[in-house]
Amino acid sequence: MAKKIESLRGMEDILPGEVEKWQWLESKAHQFFGAWNFDEIRTPIVEYTDLFSRSIGETTDIVHKEMYTFEDRGGRSLTMRPEMTASVARAVIQNNLLRNGASPNLYYIGPMFRAERPQAGRKRQFHQIGAEIVNEGGVDADLHIIRSAYYFLKSLNLQDVKIKLNDLTIISSSAGSTIREKLRSYFESHKDKLDKDSLYRLDKNVLRIFDSKAPEMQAVIDEAPWEDIAPLSDDFKMLMTRLEADGIPCELNRRLVRGLDYYTGCVFEITSSGLGAQDALAGGGRYDGLYEELGGPKSPCTGFSIGMERLMLALTNNEPSLEQQVSCGLVYLAPFSDDLEVASQAESLAREAARKLKSIGLDAVNGGLQKSLSNHLKRAGKRNARCVLMIGADEVASGQWQLRWMEEQTQETVKAGDLLITLLRKIRGTELL
Ligand code: HAM
């Protein structure tokens, strides 16, 4: 027998049964970011390597160790995108989206690639939902981007969302080189405590030492005199005050530097308690120099990306759970009969009904033909279906539907012509009609 070919480690299939959760999350993102005035952007998965090494930074873990880089047939160095902020910048500059001083608000959903060691919540192909406010400086834009990340997660009913913030404004200013030098001499004087990666970063880019997750590095990082030498900017203090006034739970963390070189101001990470070791659900911040770095005009920007795998994990451990949310409006179609002729009619009625329900935006699943109804009811219960549309011999003969509401444990007979309106009214509420 021929040897089976398997998918690459850390790059996973999303199969039927799972894919519905992805579709649900994607549609929530389209709805939310559309309503918040972000326009969707899609960029190629493969870009010139230079795009990422120049923007993310040569000494970052991503560029140094994690990129999927290869030479194409023409001898060009190409990379599978490890993130999308750089790709969005490239696309905005290339397509001249900043003409007449425009400031596009953009969002994206898609796969990214990083050769990290796979574990729960850490994949080599993973997916992000992200948003970028391009060409807008100031506290208002920072506030808007953090609010949009926070309220998007809240729109998914995610509990326990926390935001950690730090300010890289001073270190990115003209005073930055003095601060870096002070940090360098601090770490130099503790050289014996630095691991191999940090020794490399000491000379190349001292700020990146703060990215280290190695347990043995944490004490020396904690002791770094960061607070004394890099005070918070007034804008950042105002941002914190306004976030607090909004009731958004945030916490200052002076050790947060966020693993990518392009940040120049407020940076933040969002965590959720259900995640375990990989608790960063999302990350982002202000990056005012990237567009110039990539040959474009000076354009202050801010943005964030949410890891979809981690978001799904957090939602799975959430109350209400992902499954409950995905199926809370689910209509389960239950064709059943042990009579061959009835069975085939019931099945085609179920298929037709599923198509119609989906066409008006309801979630519907066809349970497939069964000999008896009880199997269907068990399966519908497992999927947390809102209701079951029973299609047996009586329904086929009468052209009327039997509809069972699972939570209420009630049943009603609905005329064929009234089915869609009845379901819409009960599942979506009358205001949408
Ligand atoms: P990042 O912190 O590298 O930022 O990634 C954002 C999120 O993507 C992380 O918080 C995490 O949820 C998810 N993520 C990252 N790596 C993996 C992985 N190997 N497996 C699963 N999930 C992962 C960025 O990518 C920036 N582009 C964010 C940004 C946008 N900054 C400004 N604009």
The whole-angstrom separation of Cα 124 and Cα 117 is 8
pLDDT tens per residue, range 19-56: 989 999 998 999 899 999 999 999 999 999 999 999 99
Threshold 0.95, pTM exceeds: no
Q: Nearest Cα to 191, choosing from 176, 211, 171, 206?
A: 206
Please tell me the distance between residue 174's alpha carbon and the centre of ligand 1 in angstroms. 28
Please tell me the distance between residue 63's alpha carbon and the centre of ligand 1 in angstroms. 14
282 close to ligand 1 (CB < 6 Angstrom): yes
CA-nearest residue for atom 10, ligand 1, is 282
220 close to ligand 1 (CB < 6 Angstrom): no
- Calculate mean pLDDT across residues 317-336: 88
CA 77 vs CA 49, 71, 295: distances in Å: 6, 5, 19
pLDDT tens per residue, range 68-123: 999 999 999 999 999 999 999 999 999 999 999 999 999 999 999 999 999 989 99
Give the pLDDT confidence score for residue 348 in this predicted structure. Answer: 93
Three-state DSSP string of the chain: CCCCCCCCCCCCCCCCCCHHHHHHHHHHHHHHHHHCCCEECCCCCEEEHHHHHHHHCCCCHHHHHHCEEEECCCCCEEEECCCCHHHHHHHHHHCCCCHHHCCCEEEEEEEEECCCCCECCECCEEEEEEEEEECCCCHHHHHHHHHHHHHHHHHCCCCCEEEEEEECHHHHCCCHHHHHHHHHHHHHCCHHHCCHHHHHHHHHCHHHHHHCCCHHHHHHHHCCCHHHHCCCCHHHHHHHHHHHHCCCCEEECCCCCCCCCCCCCEEEEEEEHHHCCCCEEEEEEECCCHHHHCCCCCCCEEEEEEEHHHHHHHHHCCCCCHHHHHHCCCEEEEEECCCHHHHHHHHHHHHHHHHHHHHCCCCEEECCCECCHHHHHHHHHHCCCCEEEEECHHHHHHCEEEEEECCCCEEEEEEHHHHHHHHHHHHHCHHHC
Please tell me the distance between residue 45's alpha carbon and the centre of ligand 1 in angstroms. 16
Q: Which atom of ligand 1 is nearest to the CA of 86?
A: 27
Burial class of 64 by CB neighbour count within 10 A (0 to 12, 13 to 18, 19+): middle
Looking at the predicted structure, is the pLDDT value of residue 422 above 50? yes
CB count, 10 Å around CB of 122?
16
104 close to ligand 1 (CB < 6 Angstrom): no
The whole-angstrom separation of Cα 322 and Cα 159 is 12
Phi, psi of 305 (to 5 degrees): -135, 145
- Residues listed for the chain: 433
- Calculate mean pLDDT across residues 407-415: 92
Please tell me the distance between residue 158's alpha carbon and the centre of ligand 1 in angstroms. 18
CA-nearest residue for atom 1, ligand 1, is 283
Looking at the predicted structure, is the pLDDT value of residue 270 above 90? yes
Looking at the predicted structure, is the pLDDT value of residue 431 above 60? no
Please tell me the distance between residue 271's alpha carbon and the centre of ligand 1 in angstroms. 12
pLDDT tens per residue, range 127-161: 999 999 999 999 999 999 999 999 999 999 999 89
Looking at the predicted structure, is the pLDDT value of residue 361 above 90? no
Confidence at 213, pLDDT banded by 50, 70, 90: confident
pLDDT tens per residue, range 275-306: 877 789 999 999 999 999 999 999 999 999 99
Helix pair 308-316, 19-35: axis angle to 10 deg: 110
Please tell me the distance between residue 267's alpha carbon and the centre of ligand 1 in angstroms. 13
Q: Which atom of ligand 1 is nearest to the CA of 270?
A: 10
Mutational test site, ligand 1, from 56, 62, 83, max ligand atoms within 8 Å of CB = 83
CA 96 vs CA 87, 89, 262, 268: distances in Å: 14, 10, 21, 29
Looking at the predicted structure, is the pLDDT value of residue 430 above 50? no
Confidence at 228, pLDDT banded by 50, 70, 90: confident
Looking at the predicted structure, is the pLDDT value of residue 433 above 60? no
The whole-angstrom separation of Cα 94 and Cα 347 is 52
- Calculate mean pLDDT across residues 326-337: 90
Q: Which atom of ligand 1 is nearest to the CA of 66?
A: 19
The whole-angstrom separation of Cα 391 and Cα 165 is 55
In the structure encoding, which two tokens stand for residue 81, read together? 């995108």
Confidence at 429, pLDDT banded by 50, 70, 90: low
User: Average model confidence (pLDDT) for the chain?
Assistant: 93
Please tell me the distance between residue 285's alpha carbon and the centre of ligand 1 in angstroms. 12
Please tell me the distance between residue 433's alpha carbon and the centre of ligand 1 in angstroms. 39
Q: Which atom of ligand 1 is nearest to the CA of 284?
A: 31
Mutational test site, ligand 1, from 84, 128, 264, max ligand atoms within 8 Å of CB = 128
Looking at the predicted structure, is the pLDDT value of residue 399 above 90? no
122 close to ligand 1 (CB < 6 Angstrom): yes
211 close to ligand 1 (CB < 6 Angstrom): no
Give the pLDDT confidence score for residue 56 in this predicted structure. Answer: 96
How close are the terminal C-alpha atoms of the chain, in Å? 58
Give the pLDDT confidence score for residue 128 in this predicted structure. Answer: 98
Give the pLDDT confidence score for residue 432 in this predicted structure. Answer: 43
- Calculate mean pLDDT across residues 263-286: 91
Give the pLDDT confidence score for residue 77 in this predicted structure. Answer: 98
285 close to ligand 1 (CB < 6 Angstrom): yes
Give the pLDDT confidence score for residue 227 in this predicted structure. Answer: 85
